[in-house]
Amino acid sequence: MKWESLTHKKRTLDVLKSLPAALVSNLDDWFAVELTYTSNAIEGNTLTRRETAVVIEKGLTVGGKSMREHLEAANHARALEFVRTRAERKPAIITARDILTIHGLILKGIDDDNAGAYRSVPVRIAGSSVVLPNPRKVPVLMDEFEAWLGTRNKLHPAAFASEAHYRFVSIHPFVDGNGRAARLLMNLLLLQRGYPPAIIPKKDRLAYIGALEKAQLGGAKDDYERIVYKAVDRSLDIYLKAVRGEAAFGSDDDSDELLKIGELAKAAGQTVPTIRYWTHEGLLDVAEVTESGYTMYGREMTARCELIKKLKAQRLTLAEIKTRMK
User: What's the CA gap between 173 and 135, in Å, rounded?
Assistant: 8
Strand order in the sheet with 295-298: 258-260, 295-298, 288-289
DSSP state letters, 187-242 = HHHHHHTTPPPP---GGGHHHHHHHHHHHHTT--SHHHHHHHHHHHHHHHHHHHHH
Catalytic residue, candidates 103, 165, 172, 280: 172
Q: CB neighbours (10 Å) of residue 310?
A: 12
E strands, the chain, in order: 258-260, 288-289, 295-298
- Bridge partner residues of 288 (DSSP): 296
Decide: 72 and 115 in contact? Cβ < 8 Å: no
Q: Is 172 a catalytic residue?
A: yes
- Amino acid type, 147: A
- Bridge partner residues of 258 (DSSP): 298
Provide the 8-state DSSP code for 59.
-
User: What's the CA gap between 7 and 10, in Å, rounded?
Assistant: 5
DSSP state letters, 37-57 = HHHHHHTT----HHHHHHHHH
Decide: 180 and 40 in contact? Cβ < 8 Å: yes
User: What's the CA gap between 197 and 135, in Å, rounded?
Assistant: 31
Q: CB neighbours (10 Å) of residue 290?
A: 13
Q: Please tell me whether residue 260 adopts helix, strand or coil conformation.
A: strand
Active site residues: 172
